[in-house]
């Protein structure tokens, strides 16, 4: 590649970084160190005063009032129109789930088996996959359904599939109109985005509290909480796809005189089909991720089996249903994607002939009819034959876990003690044992240094909310655990992300593992973590790292990959070593991706706060769990949940503002740059 000199191009004056931070001669990290140093000095002088800490089970007036509100609502279920409406909606979900359960998963008395047995359901699913996708997906679907029965979890797997189907169907019915709305109106987009941010920032356990209050427990609560978690992806992604249909195409349809609905149905939706299917796939993944959490409100499905294993600390018994949840997620994701690709090929005229299509439909229909007949009248086809496969796998997993604990217990204990003593305890002491007003001022100053005024305002509002809710001390303990976990997540993300970006072979090996890590329910890997590290805050941190790291690693890898190859080659031509190439070129140029990875890592870690409370994490996570399990602590749980939401909003806005400030600073630097630069000739 030859190198030429190009005269510098003058950037428009309007892109000059306008903020105070963009003009600082002292770098932001130096100002941050100044703030932290001053905070440490004040902490050393005033440690333990005005911390707002209180004994664990002490209630406040606000918690008692909220608990009273909960009791009043429950007492007025027969007269309160709002409660009657929500319970009516919940009853509709219960009826739908119950009908589908009696159809395919549980005995429809007086029949001792479902209306359609395992063979009929499996062949019907394979036939549908063959018709809407291809034979490879049909084989995958068949193998997946057989595995549900082979490992002894047929009924639970069908229950999970039913809850997922109902929740995703409602999500599509509600989400697609909203997606169309935000795609056609910027004002609607701004308003809905705020709500979606709140829904995605809020940890899932937090909204279990109001869901149980207004919808009861069981299938209704399971469908509603799954719906809340699964709704944002279809709205965001489908709305994005519809909004970004080629403007040239839209102008052509306008000039042809098409109405809004004609343009939507004939142009925008077909052209955004692939993006909409991505949104549907993400909605399905989100719904399955709620499987175990929904079990906390007596939701049916494989999550109940995982939860029971967690309560008895039976790792093998939790591994098998957890692995089947992953199998179901892969099956549904691949089927949705393949169906979309096939539909697109047919629309372009590249599908099979009409005769072939009719033949496939005919064969699938005939096979399904025969299988349903057999499953209704023959016991072997109605109830999956019992076998010991699941128990044998569980025993092997338990044996392997025992070996791991015996072999690596000393190492994991040393790691736990080192990080706890060297990092977690000092940070927790600084945050929770400083006077609350000192900690608040320091956090506000750090937010301003990192993200400017855009971070300052939401930080002040969220900290004020934490103080008013009277959960300051527990919030600071939770924040310390979150920061430690996020720091470790980003360390993994930078190391593995750069490695993946620089080696295609490593990317091919690691990416499927990362996809599986994002699909596996958190409770599944909580079991081996508990075995290795025991109860405590560090266990909660490790579980949060496992949950948050895959997303952060992929973001860093994609960001480093996006660095122009010409830039990397230019650095090599100047004699840069590999270390210099990574630290001086790739990571600085991927800074916005690093900030985004940090943002997502923080939010994912916060989403695990409540689950961490189940394994000794304490603080806000324990408060939320206590309120779910004990109705007299409902107010405490509600306030702790709101505190987690405020923490999530605060860290989200700080990191987003930091990303915006980074971009503004980069543009300002480019605008002021006057050096000649090498460019590749074409």
Domains (range + CATH), the chain: 46-56+404-670 (1.10.3720.10), 80-116+151-245+273-351 (1.10.3720.10)
- Considering only CA atoms, which of 534, 531, 544, 536 is closest in space to residue 609? 544
pLDDT at 1: 38
Does position 345 have pLDDT exceeding 80, yes or no?
Answer: no
pLDDT at 162: 93
CB-CB contact of 219 with 170 (8 Å): no
pLDDT at 664: 52
SS (H, E, C) 273-304: HHHHHHHHHHHHHHHHHCHHHHHCCCCCCHHH
Which range, of 363-377, 510-524, 560-574, averages the lowest pLDDT? Answer: 510-524
More confident residue, 15 or 243: 243
Give mean pLDDT, residues 651-664.
72
- Among positive and negative, which fits the CA dihedral 279, 282, 288, 292? negative
CB-CB contact of 379 with 501 (8 Å): no
Give mean pLDDT, residues 439-447.
92
Does position 62 have pLDDT exceeding 80, yes or no?
Answer: no
Q: How confident is the model at residue 116 (pLDDT cuts 50, 70, 90)?
A: very high
Q: How confident is the model at residue 41 (pLDDT cuts 50, 70, 90)?
A: very high
- Among positive and negative, which fits the CA dihedral 380, 160, 368, 360? negative
pLDDT at 124: 95
pLDDT at 3: 37
- Model's pTM, two decimal places? 0.75
Give mean pLDDT, residues 79-101.
88
Q: What is the mean pLDDT of the chain?
A: 81
Which range, of 222-231, 455-464, 602-611, averages the lowest pLDDT? Answer: 602-611
Give mean pLDDT, residues 645-674.
66
- Cα torsion through 244, 246, 250, 251, rounded to 10: 130
Which range, of 4-18, 86-100, 406-420, 457-471, averages the lowest pLDDT? Answer: 4-18
- Cα torsion through 58, 61, 63, 69, rounded to 10: 140
pLDDT at 59: 66
Q: How confident is the model at residue 20 (pLDDT cuts 50, 70, 90)?
A: very low
| CA pair distance 677, 3, nearest whole angstrom | 10
Instruction: Report, in angstroms and rounded to the nearest whole number, the Rg of the chain calculated over CA atoms.
Output: 27
CB-CB contact of 642 with 677 (8 Å): no
Does position 220 have pLDDT exceeding 50, yes or no?
Answer: yes
Report helix, strand or coil for 401: helix
pLDDT at 143: 94
CB-CB contact of 602 with 564 (8 Å): no
pLDDT at 367: 93
| CA pair distance 328, 151, nearest whole angstrom | 14
Convert the pLDDT of each residue in 539-581 to its tens digit: 888 888 888 888 888 888 888 887 888 888 888 888 788 888 8
Does position 78 have pLDDT exceeding 70, yes or no?
Answer: yes
pLDDT at 680: 43
Does position 4 have pLDDT exceeding 50, yes or no?
Answer: no
pLDDT at 134: 85
SS (H, E, C) 504-549: HHHHHHHHHHHHHHHHCCHHHHHHHHHHHHCCCHHHHHHHHHHHHH
Q: How confident is the model at residue 319 (pLDDT cuts 50, 70, 90)?
A: confident
Q: How confident is the model at residue 126 (pLDDT cuts 50, 70, 90)?
A: very high
Does position 434 have pLDDT exceeding 80, yes or no?
Answer: yes
Give mean pLDDT, residues 187-215.
77
Give mean pLDDT, residues 440-463.
90
SS (H, E, C) 464-518: HHHHHHCCHHHHHHHHHHHHHHHHHHHHHHHHHHHHHHHCHHHHHHHHHHHHHHH
Give mean pLDDT, residues 309-315.
79
pLDDT at 158: 94
Q: How confident is the model at residue 57 (pLDDT cuts 50, 70, 90)?
A: low
Does position 5 have pLDDT exceeding 80, yes or no?
Answer: no
- Considering only CA atoms, which of 500, 607, 501 is closest in space to residue 545? 607
Does position 280 have pLDDT exceeding 70, yes or no?
Answer: yes
Give mean pLDDT, residues 49-56.
76
High-pLDDT (> 90) share of the chain, %: 16
Task: Give burial (CB, 10 Å; 0-12/13-18/19+) of 120.
Answer: buried
More confident residue, 98 or 315: 98
pLDDT at 389: 87
Kindly state the tokens that stand for 327: 């199998």
Give mean pLDDT, residues 610-618.
72
Q: How confident is the model at residue 58 (pLDDT cuts 50, 70, 90)?
A: low
Rounded to 5 degrees, φ, ψ at 6 are -115, 135
pLDDT at 194: 78
pLDDT at 667: 47
Q: How confident is the model at residue 657 (pLDDT cuts 50, 70, 90)?
A: confident
pLDDT at 349: 66
pLDDT at 588: 84
* Look-up of token digits 């005229």: 349
| CA pair distance 154, 126, nearest whole angstrom | 16
Give mean pLDDT, residues 461-488.
88
Give the helix ranges, DSSP H, for 76-185: 81-104, 118-132, 135-150, 154-184
Does position 671 have pLDDT exceeding 50, yes or no?
Answer: no
CB-CB contact of 155 with 105 (8 Å): yes
Convert the pLDDT of each residue in 143-193 to its tens digit: 999 999 999 999 999 999 999 999 999 999 998 999 888 888 888 888 887
Does position 19 have pLDDT exceeding 50, yes or no?
Answer: no
**In degrees, to the nearest 5, what angle opens at C-alpha 328 toward C-alphas 319 and 202?**
80
pLDDT at 371: 94
pLDDT at 15: 39
Does position 251 have pLDDT exceeding 90, yes or no?
Answer: no
| CA pair distance 27, 676, nearest whole angstrom | 25
């Amino acid at each position: 590649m030859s190198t030429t000199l190009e005269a510098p191009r003058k950037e428009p004056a309007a892109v000059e970084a306008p903020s105070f931070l963009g003009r600082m001669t002292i770098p932001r990290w130096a100002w941050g160190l100044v703030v932290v140093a001053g905070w440490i000095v004040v902490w050393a002088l005033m440690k333990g005063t005005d911390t707002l800490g209180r004994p664990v089970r002490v209630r406040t007036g606000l918690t008692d009032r909220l608990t009273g509100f909960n009791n009043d609502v429950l007492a007025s279920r027969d007269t309160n129109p709002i409660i009657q409406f929500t319970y009516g909606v919940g009853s509709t979900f219960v009826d739908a789930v119950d009908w589908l359960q009696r159809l395919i998963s549980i005995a429809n008395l007086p029949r001792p088996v479902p209306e359609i047995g395992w063979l009929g359901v499996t062949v019907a699913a394979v036939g549908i996959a063959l018709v809407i996708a291809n034979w490879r997906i049909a084989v995958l679907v068949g193998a997946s359904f057989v595995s549900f029965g082979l490992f002894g979890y047929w009924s639970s797997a069908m229950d999970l599939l039913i809850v997922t189907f109902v929740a995703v169907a409602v999500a599509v019915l509600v989400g697609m109109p909203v997606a169309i709305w935000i795609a056609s109106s910027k004002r609607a987009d701004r308003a809905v985005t705020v709500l979606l941010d709140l829904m995605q920032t809020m940890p899932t356990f937090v909204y279990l509290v109001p869901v149980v209050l207004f919808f009861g427990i069981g299938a209704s609560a399971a469908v509603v909480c799954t719906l809340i978690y699964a709704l944002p992806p279809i709205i965001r992604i489908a709305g994005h796809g519809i909004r970004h249909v080629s403007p040239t195409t839209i102008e052509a349809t306008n000039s042809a005189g098409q109405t809004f609905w004609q343009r939507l149905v004939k142009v925008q939706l077909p052209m955004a089909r692939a993006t909409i299917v991505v949104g549907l796939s993400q909605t399905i993944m989100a719904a399955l991720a709620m499987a175990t959490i929904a079990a906390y409100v007596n939701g049916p499905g494989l999550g109940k089996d995982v939860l029971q294993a967690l309560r008895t600390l039976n790792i093998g018994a939790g591994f098998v249903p957890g692995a089947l949840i992953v199998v179901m997620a892969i099956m549904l994701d691949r089927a949705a994607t393949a169906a979309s690709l096939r539909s697109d090929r047919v629309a372009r005229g590249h599908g099979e002939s009409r005769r072939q299509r009719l033949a496939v439909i005919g064969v699938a229909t005939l096979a399904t009819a025969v299988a349903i007949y057999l499953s209704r009248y023959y016991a072997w086809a109605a109830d999956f034959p019992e076998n010991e496969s699941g128990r044998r796998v569980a025993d092997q997993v338990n044996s392997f876990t025992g070996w791991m604990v015996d072999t690596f217990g000393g190492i994991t204990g040393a790691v736990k003690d080192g990080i706890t003593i060297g990092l977690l305890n000092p940070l927790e002491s600084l945050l929770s044992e400083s006077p609350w007003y000192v900690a608040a001022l320091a956090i506000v100053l750090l937010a301003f240094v990192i993200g400017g005024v855009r971070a300052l305002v939401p930080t002040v509002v969220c900290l004020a909310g934490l103080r008013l809710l009277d959960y300051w001390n527990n919030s600071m303990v939770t924040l310390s655990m979150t920061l430690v976990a996020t720091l470790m997540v980003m360390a993994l993300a930078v190391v593995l992300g750069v490695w993946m970006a620089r080696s295609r072979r490593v990317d091919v090996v690691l990416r499927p593992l990362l996809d599986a890590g994002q699909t596996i329910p958190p409770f599944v890997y909580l079991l081996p973590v508990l075995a290795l590290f025991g109860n405590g805050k560090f266990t909660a941190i490790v579980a949060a790292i496992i949950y948050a790291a895959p997303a952060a690693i992929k973001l860093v890898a994609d960001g480093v990959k996006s660095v122009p190859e010409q830039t990397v080659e230019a650095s090599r031509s100047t004699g840069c070593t590999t270390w210099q190439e990574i630290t001086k070129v790739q990571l600085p140029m991927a800074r916005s991706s690093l900030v985004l990875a940090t943002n997502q890592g923080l939010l994912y870690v916060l989403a695990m706060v409540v689950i961490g409370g189940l394994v000794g994490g304490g603080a806000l996570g324990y408060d939320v769990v206590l309120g779910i399990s004990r109705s007299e602590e409902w107010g405490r749980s509600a306030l702790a949940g709101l505190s987690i939401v405020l923490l999530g909003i605060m860290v989200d806005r700080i990191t987003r503002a930091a990303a915006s400030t980074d971009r503004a600073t980069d543009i300002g630097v480019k605008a002021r740059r006057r050096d000649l630069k090498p460019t590749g000739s074409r």
